[in-house]
């Protein structure tokens, strides 16, 4: 089993600020269906807390999918974001879920 990273939120912020947080096609489709904008995701990242109990292994079992959760600036979207590490500093946004829906 791969070792879990402990700096997930800071790493997501670093990726975001460097333009290296890349939404997957799945994430973009889900965000469109769920009325979640990239700006909502960005805002939620800065307020995020870890949801370790929601972490899971990738299908290949070689790495972790990490869950973080935060509110957007308006406070109307409580977003769970799932990310995986790519080659540093890149990270992939797997999906975004509005827990208020």
**What mean pLDDT is reported for the chain?**
97
pLDDT at 101: 87
Q: Which residues contact 65 (CB under 8 A, 6 or more apart)?
A: 55, 56, 57, 58, 82, 83, 84, 94
Residue 1 confidence (pLDDT) above 90: no
pLDDT at 12: 98
pLDDT (tens digit per residue) in 12-21? 999 999 999 9
What CATH number should be reported for the domain whose range is 8-96? Answer: 3.30.2310.40
Check residues 90 and 101 and name the one with the higher pLDDT: 90
Residue 72 confidence (pLDDT) above 90: yes
pLDDT (tens digit per residue) in 29-64? 999 999 999 999 999 999 999 999 999 999 999 999
Asked if residues 94 and 65 have their Cβ atoms less than 8 Å apart, the reply is: yes
């Amino acid at each position: 089993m791969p070792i879990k990273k402990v700096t997930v939120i800071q790493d997501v912020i670093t990726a975001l600020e460097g333009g290296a947080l890349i939404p997957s096609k799945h994430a973009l489709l889900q965000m469109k269906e769920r009325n979640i904008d990239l700006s909502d995701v960005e805002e939620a990242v800065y307020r995020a807390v870890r949801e370790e109990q929601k972490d899971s292994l990738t299908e290949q079992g070689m790495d972790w999918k990490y869950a973080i959760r935060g509110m957007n600036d308006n406070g109307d979207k409580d977003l769970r974001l799932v990310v995986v590490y790519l080659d540093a500093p890149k990270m992939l946004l797997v999906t975004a879920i509005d827990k208020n829906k």
